Each structure stands twice: as structure tokens, then as C-alpha cells.
Amino acid sequence: MGYILNEEGKDLLATVKEFCENEVKEQCKEYDISGEWPKEMYEKACEMGLNALEVPEEYGGIGIDKITAAALYEEMAKADAGFYTTMTATNLGYKPVLIAGTEEQKQQVSDLILNGKHGAFCLTEPMGGSDPSCCKTTAVKDGDDYIINGRKCFITNGAISDFYVVTAATDKTAGNKGISAFLIFSGTPGLSAGNEENKMGIRTSNTTDVVFEDVRVPASAMLGKEGEGFKIAMKTLDLSRTFVGVGAVGIAQRCVDEAVAYSKQRVTFGKPIGKFQAIQFMLADMEIKTETARQMVIHALTLQEMGLPFNKESAIAKCYAGDISVEVALDAIQILGGYGYSREYPVEKLLRDAKIFQIYEGTNQIQRIVISRAVMGKF
Ligand code: COS
């Protein structure tokens, strides 16, 4: 099973796999401990265009389909989920530009990404993570400009981005219909990054507050029209959630790989533990969950490619993959026993990395709201 790719896709996958094996996987063990953001590693990855997989051909990208992109993202997550998170977060910031930007904005941001720059999507606030309509950041009209004030939190790539997409209330009395989205570039006076989060996992990614203090932007920095910010954000998350599922699948697959390798070499009671049915059944269940999640992701991406509705399927892919990645990581630790609990072996890191996939880009409780709404409709 897995991904069915054409020859070009298979070649790309082989190249990305080699890069991840040689330049990411082992190196990130150290960065996971130190919490360092590995600048050189990211520069090499961007030189290869790994941050630019989603740039359409018309804006200068290689124009690969979503399923090929998913296969490449999975490879990145298998090597290191923080690395995968950094690469996909730029594309999370890019999506609202592609959804609602002018041709000029689309080209400008595409050029930045193609030149190895990073981006960020600034939606979450200290008082409103799951509820983006509770937007305290404001954008007040001043002549031909807007002046933005507020604070966003848990922003991936917060301190290392060249472009930021930011939601802000342009009409505080209008709820989610009073939210607008803006495209802002680093270096704009008043825009700064707050302290970096000291995270449990995905420690090779950069997560900070992003602060706006009298940030003046021209009205042309708005994406779409005034009041469209909430819908643009929702459409962005619908799209991005499927790729979040891919990251979780990557972690689950790495857990299966590590547990299989260990069960073949670890001998107890005179034979490798993989000869015992207790272990075989655990590995089979881990594989069932991982492959099912991958196929759910592929299904949601196929719907997107075909222009069909995918809101529910994208939420299922993210939710299921996030949940099973934690389960599969726990099973991998169990199979490795005491060694699984030790930092000497990679699976405890995989569990720490997996946990965020039940939380970011909409908690799995939010995904269940989206799914149940799709199932039940309005009544
Ligand atoms: N695509 C397009 N439009 C959407 C949409 C979507 N996926 N979801 C909602 N909308 C539209 C609705 O159609 C509605 O438009 P009208 O008022 O014109 O009819 C409007 O947006 C408001 O929708 P709704 O009333 O359903 O909004 P809610 O506040 O009830 O939304 C959920 C609740 C939970 C769906 C929403 O708040 C959500 O997704 N939260 C999670 C956010 C998140 O993931 N945060 C983490 C960010 S990490 S980057």
C-alpha cells in the first residue's frame, strides 16, 4: 500500500529520503536535547526546495501533486517531526495567501519561499486557541493604513519568518465576521517575536509569541476583503489538517520501523522477541493503525485534488492520525521495554513528538466538533 507515485515522484522521494537519513535523523537527536534551532540543516533543506513543495508551477514551483507532497512530508516527519513542522508551517502561512491573496501577493510570497525563506500563520491568541473568533488583536483603520496591536501565541516559525499572515479584528462588534487577515513582512516596525517556548517535543521547530505594537501596514496588506479573515482561516485549516495527518503518520511509521528492528534482534527466552505472538500481534495492530491513517490522508488529499468537498475527511485524517501516532508510539515503547523508556533509544522522543499532533492546528476535540457537525448537519 502506501503512496502510489509516478516515476518523477519516486525519484523525488528517494532524494528526500536520502537527505533525511543523512542530514536530519541522527543530527536531530542532539538538537532535541539542546532545543537548538538547527539553522544550517534548515538552509540545506531549503536549498533543496523542501520548504517549497506547495508552490504551484505558475508561481515558479515544481508543481507536484498533493499526494507526492504528502509522501515527501511523511519522510521528513519520520526523520524528525520538528523538521517536518518547520517546513509545513511555512506552507500553513502560505495557504491563506493562495486562497485570498492578489496575484502580486501570491507571487511575492512564492518568491520568498522559493528563496528559502520561512513563513508563519498567526491565528492563535493567549485567550483563544480553539476559538479564533475570540480575537483580541485589533487592526484599526488610519487613513490608507491599518494599525495592528496584539499578541499571538504558539506560533511555529515565530522568530524565523520572513512573512506572517495575521488575523485581527477590524470590527470588534461583529464577532467572526469582524475579523480580517493581513500579510506582513519581517522588519515591519513594531513586529517582534516573544520568548521561545521550551517544548516537550518537536524541539527542532521554533515556537514563539508574535507581538504587534502599533504595526502600520497599508490597506493593500489585507488578504481578501475586510471581515473575511475568519473564513480564510477556516479554509486554511481545512487544507492544512490533512498534511498534519501526514506528519503523525510519519511518526507512527518510524515507531513501527524501530519496533520491528528491535524485535528481530532482542533475544529473550532463547529467541528474538519478534518470534512471540504477543509481539507480532502488537506490531500488526501498529501497522493496521498506521496504514489506515495513511490511507485516510490519501483519501482526503484525493478529494482536494478532484475539487470535491473534504472538510470532514481532512478532520478525520488529522484526528485519527494524531490519536494513533500516540498509541503506536506507546506500543513501540512497550516493545522496547526499559530501553524504550530510555533516551538512548529513539522511541521516547517519538512519543513526545506525537503528542502535539493531537493538539496543534485544532485539537482533536475540535476535529470531533467538525466531524460531528458534518455528520449531524444543522438541526
Ligand atoms: N470553510 C469555510 N467557511 C467556514 C468554515 C470552513 N471550514 N467553517 C466555518 N465557516 C464559515 C461558516 O459558513 C459561517 O459563515 P456564515 O456566517 O456566512 O454562515 C462562519 O464561518 C462561522 O461559522 P460557524 O458559526 O460554524 O463558526 P464557529 O465559531 O461555530 O466555528 C469551529 C467553530 C470549532 C469550527 C471553529 O472555531 C474552529 O475550527 N476552531 C478551531 C480553530 C483551530 O484549529 N485553532 C488552532 C489554530 S492552530 S494554527
pLDDT in tens, 208-259: 999 999 999 999 999 999 999 999 999 999 999 999 999 999 999 999 999 9
* Cα-based distances in Å from 329 to 28, 235, 350: 18, 31, 6
Closest to 157 in 3D by CA, of 215, 102, 85: 85
* Cα-based distances in Å from 181 to 9, 93, 109, 170, 361: 34, 11, 15, 9, 17
CATH number of the domain located at residue range(s) 120-226 in this protein = 2.40.110.10
Q: Does residue 176 have its Cβ closer than 6 Å to ligand 1?
A: yes
Q: Does residue 131 have its Cβ closer than 6 Å to ligand 1?
A: yes
In the predicted structure, residue 194 carries a pLDDT above the cut 80: yes
Active site residues: 361
Q: Report the pLDDT value the prediction gives residue 1, as an integer from 0 to 100.
A: 67
Whether 231-376 and 7-117 are alike in CATH topology: the answer is: no
pTM: 0.96
314 C-alpha vs ligand 1 centroid, how far in Å?
Answer: 14
pLDDT tens string 331-355: 999 999 999 999 999 999 999 999 9
Q: Does residue 121 have its Cβ closer than 6 Å to ligand 1?
A: yes
List beta partners, residue 294. Answer: none
Q: Which atom of ligand 1 is nearest to the CA of 230?
A: 21
Q: Does residue 370 have its Cβ closer than 6 Å to ligand 1?
A: yes
Q: Does residue 132 have its Cβ closer than 6 Å to ligand 1?
A: yes
234 C-alpha vs ligand 1 centroid, how far in Å?
Answer: 5
Question: What CATH superfamily is the domain 231-376?
Answer: Butyryl-CoA Dehydrogenase, subunit A, domain 3 (1.20.140.10)
Q: Which atom of ligand 1 is nearest to the CA of 361?
A: 48
**CA–CA separation, 275 and 263 (whole Å):** 8
Q: Give SS3 for 360.
A: coil
Q: Does residue 231 have its Cβ closer than 6 Å to ligand 1?
A: yes
Average pLDDT over residues 103-113: 98
230 C-alpha vs ligand 1 centroid, how far in Å?
Answer: 7
pLDDT tens string 3-57: 999 999 999 999 999 999 999 999 999 999 999 999 999 999 999 999 999 999 9
Q: Which atom of ligand 1 is nearest to the CA of 231?
A: 3
pLDDT tens string 130-185: 887 889 999 999 999 999 999 999 999 999 999 999 999 999 999 999 999 999 99
Residue 127 sits at φ, ψ, to 5 deg, of -100, 0
Average pLDDT over residues 287-299: 98
Q: Which atom of ligand 1 is nearest to the CA of 133?
A: 29
357 C-alpha vs ligand 1 centroid, how far in Å?
Answer: 20
231 C-alpha vs ligand 1 centroid, how far in Å?
Answer: 7
Domain range annotation of the chain: 7-117, 120-226, 231-376
Structural domain 7-117, CATH architecture? Orthogonal Bundle (1.10)
Q: Does residue 85 have its Cβ closer than 6 Å to ligand 1?
A: no
